[in-house]
Chains A and B, each alone.
Chain A
Amino acid sequence: MTETMSLKALTRRQLLTRGAAAGASFVIGTGFVAGRDAAWATEMDALKPETMATLIQMARDIYPHDKVGDQYYAAAVKGYDVPQEVDFVQAGIDMLNDTASQKGFGTYLDAGWEDDRVAILREIEGTDFFQRIRGGLVTGLYNQKEVWPIFGYEGESYSKGGYLYRGFDDISWI
């Protein structure tokens, strides 16, 4: 998962003092990205932390679920944090930031409203970069068992004996 032992030990205060704010949600430090609330953090193996922060925000803007925390989006894109993906991801994020810049924002993360970021994404949605990130999220995000309860999906049921005695016909509003 996205949390690591070394960062877990940090207090919120320590985390914030070790990093710089990026966008609305993230703290970027040397070798890590964390949530502003310090509820999660992910250590970087290959990508630059600001690149990962941008990728996490991009993931949320593609599939925004307000009840799903950033740590799940971070987990969904963590697979790109490997040496063989660095060039691909960095080039894509550079393109994203260039597009943001053309629309009057310093970087993608500087665009404060989702609508503005979505407008930037619409400009690049035909690119291989966007489509690969989006396609990867379909399983990367929605196939995390940890997010299923947030959507009310209960997953595996055989070990619990199915739903015959656990509400397969419990609808009450009809």
Chain B
Amino acid sequence: MAAPFDMNDDSVVVIIGTGAGGGVLANELAQKGISVVALEAGGRYLPEDYINDEWDSFGQLAWTDTRTTSGEWRVSEDFPNLPAWIVKAVGGTSTHWAGASLRFQDHEWKARTTYGEVEGANLLDWPIDGTEMAPFYDRAEKKLGVTRTNDIPGLPGSNNYKVFEAGAKKIGYKEVHTGRMAINSVERDGRMACQQTGFCFQGCKWGAKWSAAYTDIPAGEATGNLEVRTKAHAARILHDDAGRVTGVEYFDENGDLQMQKARVVCVAGNSFESPRLLLNSSSSMFPDGLANSSGQVGRNYMRHTTGSVYGIFEQPVHMYRGTTMAGIIQDEAKHDPSRGFVGGYELETLSLGLPFMAAFLDPGSWGRSFTTALDSYENMAGMWIVGEDMPQEANRVTLSDAEDGFGLKVANVNFTDHPNDTAMRNHAYQQGMAIYDAMGATRTMPTPPYPSTHNLGTNRMSERPEDGVVNANGRAHDVPNLYVSDGSQFTTGAAENPTLTIVALAIRQAEHIAGELNRGNL
């Protein structure tokens, strides 16, 4: 049967969310002839719709539905209802991401074994490893057209990159380049090459950056096996007396409650909405939330140890010209406990426009210390820290007392840095400032983390059912036909930007689900 599908069609796989996880999974299943209904809470926006304006784009794409926050992280003080900067639209946050596409290092799949016991951390090894993932990374890199893989050339270096690269080399770093990027350096896959426009975070108007919105989603729809329902806000996953999920209730664009029957349900709503949905789906059989016999749903929230360093120089940089993430230093990505922390971090260039620089450089700050920094905006270079943070049980998504417009409990996000996170960030701040000082910076600014874009771990993968929510295939330990397909299944966060791994896991999960369907196990 071809799309669109009937609400009572219980042969379909329902995927909730259409980002790097859900969008890729939807296409991969559709290509195999499997019927898929994808429920997307946001609308559909394509390159012609994207806006080269930070606040206008934020209004168009960002998930701004209320969330609440708690814990000691500064985001909770400065942006109490905006814990994350992620997207509510077809393609999800793959419209917003900067394109950095890095594989995990082999040891990062085995964080508990490699790092040992870390007090206060809930570390666990992934039930999969680099060898298992290698072929799926290969396929993910081909799908995304990652530069510096498959003979695709690297992107050229921008002004911001040139400051970063020269400073890095001056202080002795060796692994410095313009990144492995899912941004076309040459025309590929029917999409043109990067025009160095900036505004990668606002959706690429050229389509040069990979996003599920204009690659996997339309490719899946073209098979006739995928129906994407936009402005469809999932409310609850239903199950039968045997404990198998049977369908998904959602509010459609008119606010009417609908129910799509399902053979399999895959949750891919990002690390706040996915656990929120499972918790909101509690029942007499699953009183603590669906798939939550371990009590781990919502726990171990990770956001990467981030922060930024901006440097001001005597002469112009114009950092905003060109790709947002224009280059990377990987020398600190290794695990080297002699630095005073376990795990490692990447340094990647970053640029914000003036409006967002004003909002995020030092939120709440005022007076000349702040404004003289902005006065030198033109002479500023910037970089972002991306490091592995420790999973902690108390860093978690729970149901808030607040409700959304549909009367559903919203997510509360509680987060406090682990001492390892703080030690890593401080080390990275020092290194970042040293890079810019080596280039003659007249001022450097260690800038606090922004609302999170890398949201991970709240339905984590585990070998044993008591340690996590899903197994090595992303299948719920408690519910045989329920899957988690986004970054919330991450057992640990590693030092790398997560999208490539989310895509690789989605490709792998599609193989698994198709196999199980063929075998009659789903």
* Interface size class, chain B: 35 or more
Q: List the B residue with the shortest CB-CB distance to A157.
A: B197
CA distance A66 to B376 in the complex (A): 12
* Chain B binder among A3-11, A77-85, A134-142: A134-142
**Interface: A143 (CB within 8 A):** yes
**Interface: B407 (CB within 8 A):** no
Please state if B322 and A156 are interface contacts (CB–CB under 8 Å): no
CA distance A102 to B315 in the complex (A): 44
**Interface: B264 (CB within 8 A):** no
CA distance A66 to B372 in the complex (A): 9
Which among A139, A148, A163, A174 is the interface contact of B322 at CB below 8 angstroms? A163
Please state if A163 and B321 are interface contacts (CB–CB under 8 Å): yes
Q: Is chain A's binding surface mostly helix, strand, loop or mixed?
A: loop
**Interface: A118 (CB within 8 A):** yes
Which among A64, A134, A159, A163 is the interface contact of B371 at CB below 8 angstroms? A64
CA distance A66 to B263 in the complex (A): 64
Given contacts A64-B367, A163-B321, contact A171 B354 (CB under 8 A): no
**With a CB–CB cut-off of 8 A, which chain A residues contact B156?**
168-169
Q: List the B residue with the shortest CB-CB distance to A139.
A: B55
Shortest Cβ distance from residue B45 to the other chain A in the assembled complex, whole angstroms: 15
Please state if B317 and A171 are interface contacts (CB–CB under 8 Å): yes
Please state if B320 and A154 are interface contacts (CB–CB under 8 Å): yes
**Interface: A155 (CB within 8 A):** yes
Given contacts A169-B159, A173-B315, contact A63 B370 (CB under 8 A): yes
Q: A123-158 vs B: 1/0 string, CB under 8 Å?
A: 001000000001000110111000010011111111
Q: List the A residue with the shortest CB-CB distance to B374.
A: A151
Please state if B321 and A138 are interface contacts (CB–CB under 8 Å): no
CA distance A138 to B53 in the complex (A): 15
Please state if A143 and B55 are interface contacts (CB–CB under 8 Å): yes
Given contacts A163-B322, A169-B162, contact A63 B378 (CB under 8 A): no
Which among B198, B316, B367, B374 is the interface contact of A162 at CB below 8 angstroms? B198
Please state if B366 and A134 are interface contacts (CB–CB under 8 Å): yes
**With a CB–CB cut-off of 8 A, which chain A residues contact B375?**
65-67, 151
Which among B162, B358, B368 is the interface contact of A138 at CB below 8 angstroms? B358
CA distance A66 to B53 in the complex (A): 25
**With a CB–CB cut-off of 8 A, which chain A residues contact B314?**
173
Which among A125, A134, A138, A162 is the interface contact of B197 at CB below 8 angstroms? A162
Q: B130-148 vs A: 1/0 string, CB under 8 Å?
A: 0000000000000000000
- In chain B between 372 and 387, which residues have their CB closer than 8 angstroms to a CB of chain A? 374-375, 377-378
**Interface: A167 (CB within 8 A):** yes
- In chain B between 333 and 374, which residues have their CB closer than 8 angstroms to a CB of chain A? 353-355, 357-359, 364, 366-368, 370-371, 374
* Interface size class, chain A: 35 or more
- In chain B between 298 and 347, which residues have their CB closer than 8 angstroms to a CB of chain A? 313-318, 320-322
**Interface: B97 (CB within 8 A):** no
CA distance A53 to B377 in the complex (A): 28
Please state if A169 and B316 are interface contacts (CB–CB under 8 Å): no
Given contacts A143-B55, A152-B377, A153-B353, contact A169 B366 (CB under 8 A): no
CA distance A170 to B163 in the complex (A): 12
Please state if B196 and A118 are interface contacts (CB–CB under 8 Å): no
**With a CB–CB cut-off of 8 A, which chain A residues contact B364?**
134
CA distance A106 to B6 in the complex (A): 74
Shortest Cβ distance from residue B325 to the other chain A in the assembled complex, whole angstroms: 14
**Interface: B126 (CB within 8 A):** no
Given contacts A62-B367, A164-B195, A169-B156, contact A158 B52 (CB under 8 A): yes
**Interface: B472 (CB within 8 A):** no
Further pairs besides A142-B355, A163-B198, A173-B314: 4, Cβ < 8 Å: A64-B367, A164-B195, A169-B157, A169-B162
15 contacts between A and B (CB under 8 A): A63-B371, A65-B371, A118-B367, A142-B354, A148-B354, A151-B354, A151-B377, A153-B353, A157-B197, A163-B197, A163-B321, A164-B194, A169-B158, A170-B159, A173-B315
Residue ranges of B at the interface with A (Cβ–Cβ < 8 Å)? 52-53, 55, 156-159, 162-163, 166, 194-199, 205-206, 313-318, 320-322, 353-355, 357-359, 364, 366-368, 370-371, 374-375, 377-378, 439
Which 10 pairs show the lowest CB-CB distances between chains A and B? A152-B378, A162-B197, A162-B195, A168-B322, A142-B358, A168-B196, A156-B52, A153-B354, A163-B321, A171-B159
